[in-house]
Amino acid sequence: MKTSAFATFAPEILGQLRNYGKLMRVDRPVGIWLLMWPTLWALWLAGEGHPDQGLFVIFLLGVFVMRSAGCVLNDFVDRRIDPYVERTRSRPLASGAVAPFEALILFVALGLVAIGLVIMLNKQAQLLAIVGAALTVAYPFVKRYVSIPQFILGAAFGWAVPMAFAAQTGATPELAWLVFGAALIWAVIYDTFYAMVDREDDMKLGVKSTAILFGEADLFVIAGLQALMVAALALVGYRAELGFWYYASVMVAAALMAWHLWLARDREPADCFRAFLQNHYIGMIVFIGIVLHYTFNPAG
């Protein structure tokens, strides 16, 4: 019996699709969670506990697509650096499993999907999406020139917040920017933990990060940023007139922040990476607090 062409090439095609999935970090969903939680905060706050169902779907898909596109572009830009970093040398572009041209095609395809989602939003959200796209594209490049690329990443990860408010309400009130500020600070916190993992390699390669900038004061600065984030979340609760369940969630999140500091106390790369991975629970707990508030206080 002759073997069909599909049967012959199917394993190779499936293997390459898996490589594309790895390039998009589908196998490492923590980045999706970190981007998704502030988006959900914003949707629930903007909709006062009842976000538009269509917007909910659009923004969830947008989180996946934009995070994937950002990972592809980041690895394309870092393709000559990643082979020399212990943690990243097995990435598809660094290992040669995916060619640079393939990565660019994948990035363009994801970008087109993102555009398709954006055109379903209102005009103000569309304009904000242009800024978000610019931040996503800028991040992989700025870490070669500025010492605080985590702030650019934070702005990119938090930009769905004003977009969600604009899409839901047609405006970006003060509350939207307070939530955005909390999300930005949070991203600097967890990405500094992440950068602490690669600090030694980054210093040799000339890649800049807040972990290098903060130096021996890294944990002290992170603690200060954590306190600032808790204060920002408390202010969000005050401006949105949230109640007990929300503030209880913020207190639990603050306890988790202290635990992450304790995990990273010796600055061991594995422990810093654990602190980074566990950060998404903070976003989840804050979201639970918001949902519980609107569940038991439906009037707002």
Q: Can you give the residue range of the structural domain that contains 244?
A: 17-296
Rounded Cα distance between 33 and 64, Å, is 9
Rounded Cα distance between 166 and 121, Å, is 9
Encode 136-170 in three state secondary structure. Answer: HHHHHHHCCCCCCHHHHHHHHHHCHHHHHHHHHHC
Answer for the pair 25, 71: CB distance below 8 angstroms, yes or no.
yes
Average pLDDT over residues 237-247: 96
- Which residues have CB under 8 Å from 28's CB, separation 6+? none
Average pLDDT over residues 17-43: 94
Instruction: Write down the pLDDT at residue 81.
Output: 86
Average pLDDT over residues 235-254: 97
Q: How far is CA 194 from CA 141, 163, 271, in A?
A: 18, 26, 10
Instruction: Write down the pLDDT at residue 144.
Output: 77
pLDDT of 117 strictly over 90: yes
Rounded Cα distance between 280 and 206, Å, is 29
Task: Give the predicted TM-score (pTM) of the model.
Answer: 0.92
Number of folded domains in the chain?
Answer: 1
Chain position carrying tokens 């940023």: 225
In a domain, residue 172? The reply is yes
56's tokens: 């909910």
* 51 SS3 class: coil
In this prediction, residue 10 has a pLDDT band, given cuts at 50, 70 and 90, of low
In a domain, residue 7? The reply is no
In a domain, residue 269? The reply is yes
Instruction: Write down the pLDDT at residue 200.
Output: 86
In a domain, residue 265? The reply is yes
More confident residue, 143 or 166: 166
How confident is the model over 120-161, as pLDDT tens digits?
A: 999 999 999 999 999 999 988 887 788 888 999 999 999 999
List the CATH number of the domain containing 161: 1.10.357.140
pLDDT of 6 strictly over 90: no
In a domain, residue 8? The reply is no
Sequence-distant contacts of 123-129: CB under 8 A, at least 24 apart: 124/166, 124/167, 124/170, 124/171, 124/172, 125/163, 125/166, 125/167, 128/159, 128/162, 128/163, 128/166, 128/172, 129/163
In a domain, residue 9? The reply is no
In this prediction, residue 206 has a pLDDT band, given cuts at 50, 70 and 90, of confident
Rounded Cα distance between 240 and 235, Å, is 8
Residue 241 backbone dihedrals phi, psi, to 5 degrees = 55, 45
In a domain, residue 12? The reply is no
In a domain, residue 152? The reply is yes
